[in-house]
Amino acid sequence: MPNQGYAYREGLAPSTLNGSSPTSTKSSWFSFMSSKWPRWFFLITLLQALICMAFEAYVFGIFQTALADEQRPETESQRRTIPTFLTLFIFAFLYELIIVWDALRMKNTIQIIGVCIANLAIMIYAAIQIEQIQIAVQEMEAAGALVRGREDMWDDMRPFLVAIPCIFSAGTIAMGFVAWKLYQVFAWDILKTIGADYRMKKRFLHYQVYIALLKFDFFFFLGFTVQFLVIVGDIEVVEYALTAAAIPITVAILVSAAYFTQRENKLGVVATILLYLGGLSYFIFKLVRIYQPGYSQHYMAVRRSLTAFTVVTILLIILTIINAVVCMRNFGNGLKQHLLKPKGPEKSADLNSVSLQDVKPQMASRMTID
């Protein structure tokens, strides 16, 4: 058998001969698991998720069994703190697994790097929750909202809560190392039929970064919204309704943004940029409101975590706006033809090509990101 190079030895090059395509689209969904470094990256993410979810579930169980039957209005926000954290972590782990699966399946180096950064952000959030849960437990104990004889509840919780960010730290380091290996392997596949044109390669890179940002925008916006709607109490009905309605609207905006950019629709991209600016104004307003006298007491139970999510979301929106402008400036230079080029049988059934999905046409030669 002829020497197929490093990518083939790693199991990342197409295994069929004479240019034939796989016969099953479904079989290609997890074909990356037969390759060393993609398999390791996915397993690290999965193991991290399973261990941390087990720890969060254990903490949740301790908390629920210690709650008194009588509900007190003054501790209602604290009562919802741990269940909300558990829900957010479950969503974070599942969403991260989907993003990792998508990145490995499509051999998207940019998205792999984004996952490592997002994992670091979740680690910081896991560290923030330790103090917030401790404060919530102390306030509920002082208010008599816990079952008698459970004064040692915090001592039971603390080791597991401390272990979670430690696991994330180790996971992030391991993911970073494997991501570097994946970059070395995937680099040749990033621009397949884009060709050796340096400028075209840069345009495609900008497009990939933009699509990845849209995916992470969704997670951090939803994380903020869940905490706001579930834990924060005593907010106006109008503000509550608008925040809840923003979830489906945001999904529509993000999907539309990917669609308009892929098809180089300038009017649509300009409209989404204006909506981004509106979202940026909203999150800046919420960041001020969290610490504003007369309102800050409503956010006390989740002040730090809300602040973290708000700051990250603001930064992501700014980066998204910048990348949207850069992508729009690249319109009319030939990238659209590559993005919308008909693909082979193994890709034609992929219905995610518009829904925040990048496009990887075929190329035989090895490429790198300059």
**Tens-digit pLDDT string for the chain (370 aa):** 444 454 444 444 443 333 334 444 445 777 778 788 999 999 999 999 999 999 998 998 888 888 877 666 666 777 777 788 888 888 888 899 999 999 888 888 889 999 999 999 999 989 988 888 888 888 888 877 777 777 678 888 899 999 999 999 999 999 999 999 888 777 666 555 455 567 777 888 888 899 999 999 998 888 888 877 776 655 667 777 777 888 888 889 999 999 999 898 999 999 999 999 998 998 998 888 888 887 777 777 677 888 888 999 999 999 999 999 999 998 988 777 777 766 554 444 343 444 444 444 444 444 444 4
Sequence-distant (≥ 6) Cβ neighbours of residue 219 within 8 angstroms: 91, 92, 95, 118
Q: Tell me: do 344 and 238 sit in the same domain.
A: yes
* Pair 195, 340: CB distance under 8 Å: no
Q: Tell me: do 214 and 177 sit in the same domain.
A: no
Q: Tell me: do 59 and 175 sit in the same domain.
A: yes
pTM to 2 decimal places:
0.76
Q: Tell me: do 253 and 182 sit in the same domain.
A: no
> How many CB atoms sit inside 10 A of residue 303's CB?
18
309 inside domain: yes
Structure tokens given for 340 = 């919308």
Measured between alpha carbons, how far is 62 from 85 in angstroms, rounded to an integer? 14
Instruction: Please calculate the CA angle 95-98-104 and round it to the nearest 5 degrees.
Output: 140
Q: What share of the chain is helix, strand, coil (3-state, %, to 5)?
A: 75, 0, 25
Supply the pLDDT for residue 172. Answer: 95
Please give the residue range of the domain that contains residue 217: 194-370
Q: Tell me: do 63 and 208 sit in the same domain.
A: no
Measured between alpha carbons, how far is 215 from 139 in angstroms, rounded to an integer? 37
Last residue of a domain, one of 160, 189, 218: 189
Token look-up 């401790």 returns 134
Token look-up 């994380």 returns 223
Q: Which amino acid is at 50?
A: L
8 inside domain: no
Helices (H), 263-344: 266-291, 303-329, 335-339
**Structural domains of the chain, count:** 2
330 inside domain: yes
59 inside domain: yes
The dihedral sign for the CA sequence 238, 315, 173, 29? positive
Q: Tell me: do 124 and 269 sit in the same domain.
A: no
Q: Tell me: do 229 and 178 sit in the same domain.
A: no
328 inside domain: yes
Q: Tell me: do 209 and 258 sit in the same domain.
A: yes
19 inside domain: no
Last residue of a domain, one of 156, 189, 222: 189
Supply the pLDDT for residue 6. Answer: 47
Token look-up 């040692």 returns 152
Q: Tell me: do 69 and 160 sit in the same domain.
A: yes
118 inside domain: yes
Q: Tell me: do 270 and 300 sit in the same domain.
A: yes
* Pair 218, 253: CB distance under 8 Å: no
Measured between alpha carbons, how far is 215 from 203 in angstroms, rounded to an integer? 19
Structure tokens given for 307 = 């602040």
* Pair 233, 77: CB distance under 8 Å: yes
Supply the pLDDT for residue 346. Answer: 44
Last residue of a domain, one of 165, 189, 213: 189
Q: Tell me: do 264 and 356 sit in the same domain.
A: yes
Nearest to 60 by CA among 76, 80, 82: 82
Q: Tell me: do 276 and 245 sit in the same domain.
A: yes
22 inside domain: no
